[in-house]
Amino acid sequence: MLEDLEPGALTRILRPTVIVSLGVGVVGAGIAIWLSSPFAALGIALGIAAAILNVRVLGTGVLSAQTQDTSDGKVIRKLLQSNSAIRLVVITAAVIGLVVVIPPLGIGAMIGLVIFQIAFVVNAGRAIMATRAL
């Protein structure tokens, strides 16, 4: 499905994703502060920041994999999959640790990650539908 997108599509998908997730995150943090939970507001900010960092590192990894001399697509995919899996395990373990140690901070971080992922899926779906409509 994502193969249909042109090479520069990830950059065009990321800009609106970041803007929307930051906007929704600010609203969510405002609600958390209004409900007297500043740690949840901080967690939302941490979750969105972790998601943005994860996608930026993924994009950098894709670019570096494309510039390597290896023409074998399986090797490049395997490398990207293992790096992505490691990052996701680290982020998941960090969020679970936060939930155990400081529950409002951990739950806020989960909410921030979810906000970013929903925005990313919606923007990626829009881009895919736009290319298929052509």
Q: How many domains does the chain have?
A: 1
Average pLDDT of span 101-118: 96
In a domain, 29, yes or no: yes
Distance (Å, whole) CA 92 – CA 110: 9
pLDDT mean across residues, the chain = 84
> Of the segments 2-6, 65-69, 115-119, which one has the largest average pLDDT value?
115-119
6 inside domain? no
Is 42 domain-assigned? yes
Confirm whether 113 is domain-assigned: yes
Model pTM?
Answer: 0.82
Tokens of 53: 């960092």
pLDDT at 28: 96
**pLDDT over 80 (residue 36):** yes
Predicted pLDDT of residue 62: 63
**pLDDT, tens digit, for every residue of 51-83?**
999 888 877 766 665 555 555 566 556 666 677
Using pLDDT thresholds of 50, 70 and 90, give the confidence band for residue 30.
very high
- Asked whether the predicted pLDDT for residue 50 surpasses 90, the reply is yes
The reply to whether 63 falls in a domain is: no
Residue 41 has pLDDT above 60, yes or no: yes
Residue 23 lies in a domain: yes
| Number of alpha carbons in the 13 Å side-chain half-sphere of residue 17 | 29
Residue 73 resides in a domain: no
Q: What is the pLDDT of residue 58?
A: 77
* Residue 1 located in a structural domain: no
In the predicted model, what is the mean pLDDT of residues 85-91? Answer: 88
Q: Which domain holds residue 18?
A: 12-54+88-133
